[in-house]
Amino acid sequence: MKTELQERSCGTTMPWQWCNLRRNPFGELTRAERAQLAVVDIQGIVQQVSQDHTAVQFIGDCGRGKTTRMLALAHAMADASYVYLPEDGPCPSIAVGRPILIDEAQRLPRKVGKAVFASGLPLVLATHRDLSRSLRRFGYSVDTQSIGAANTPELICKLLNRRVEASRREPDVAVPRLSLHDATVLVRKFGSDVRSMESYLYDVVQSQSFVSLGLDHGQMRFVD
């Protein structure tokens, strides 16, 4: 997916003016934007990880919202540290935090994982593999949350329209809206995979970038 800057570099500085948008709403977001636009309830987790030897792990397939939750927590908790573990290359340094948030925690090298778990610091882990056995060995109480099952059409509609709203140009002019029917079609097509929905919508919206396509103001199409 292209960023807004890439679109401008191609000479398309105002392709969305006709529908009162300043960019394709479904392009890549910064970490700060993802945290601010997250539609997640993190207050309970914030309270859970206020004590040592407590851990929350988010388990789910790619694109279901694990990283979004992690970034929302990092944004909300001033003393938290966040690290993403890449698939290739060396393990990055893991800063002390309260809590420590580790994204793709199943990639933790054994030695690093032992050191982190031995610290006793509160942890939030996004992982594809259940790490509760190792955590309990180091004295942690563990709350495991399965991510993706709650991605209903109602939630999908809310979070995608939030992205549209964040791309609004003028405050008093209407912007396109995804309907609940649109969201239902997307869930039928992609299941709970929000990332695939956003990638699909990026291409659909990109194809409608200019008013010269003959589209009426405000009548953007999101699904076939």
pLDDT in tens, 37-79: 988 889 999 999 999 999 999 999 998 999 999 999 999 999 9
Q: Given this model, what pLDDT does residue 19 score?
A: 86
Q: Is pLDDT of 162 > 80?
A: yes
> What is the average pLDDT value for the chain, to the nearest integer?
88
Report the sign of the C-alpha dihedral through residues 68, 69, 75, 81, in that order: negative
Q: Is pLDDT of 36 > 60?
A: yes
Q: Is pLDDT of 121 > 50?
A: yes
Q: Given this model, what pLDDT does residue 207 score?
A: 87
Q: Is pLDDT of 209 > 80?
A: no
Q: Is pLDDT of 177 > 80?
A: yes
Q: Given this model, what pLDDT does residue 224 score?
A: 73
Q: Is pLDDT of 217 > 70?
A: no
What mean pLDDT comes out for the span 104-115?
A: 95
Q: Given this model, what pLDDT does residue 39 score?
A: 87
Do residues 125 and 80 lie in contact, with contact meaning Cβ atoms separated by under 8 Å?
no
Least confident residue range of 7-16, 43-52, 53-62, 193-202:
7-16
DSSP string, 106-155: GG--HHHHHHHHHT---EEEEESS--HHHHHHTT-EEEEEE-STT--HHH
Of the two residues 1 and 16, the one the predictor is more confident about is: 16
Structure tokens at 138: 């180091």
What mean pLDDT comes out for the span 97-113?
A: 96
Structure tokens at 30: 């910064």
Whole-model pTM above 0.85?
Answer: no
Of the two residues 46 and 10, the one the predictor is more confident about is: 46
Least confident residue range of 13-17, 103-107, 152-156, 163-167:
13-17
Separation of alpha carbons 68 and 115, rounded Å:
26
Q: Given this model, what pLDDT does residue 221 score?
A: 87
What mean pLDDT comes out for the span 99-127?
A: 96
Q: What percent of the chain has pLDDT over 70?
A: 90
Would you say how long the chain is, in residues?
224
Q: Given this model, what pLDDT does residue 17 score?
A: 84
User: Residue 63 contacts by C-beta under 8 Å, 6 or more apart in sequence?
Assistant: 193, 194, 195, 196
Q: Is pLDDT of 10 > 80?
A: no
Domains detected in the chain: 4-29+159-208 (no CATH), 43-146 (3.40.50.300)
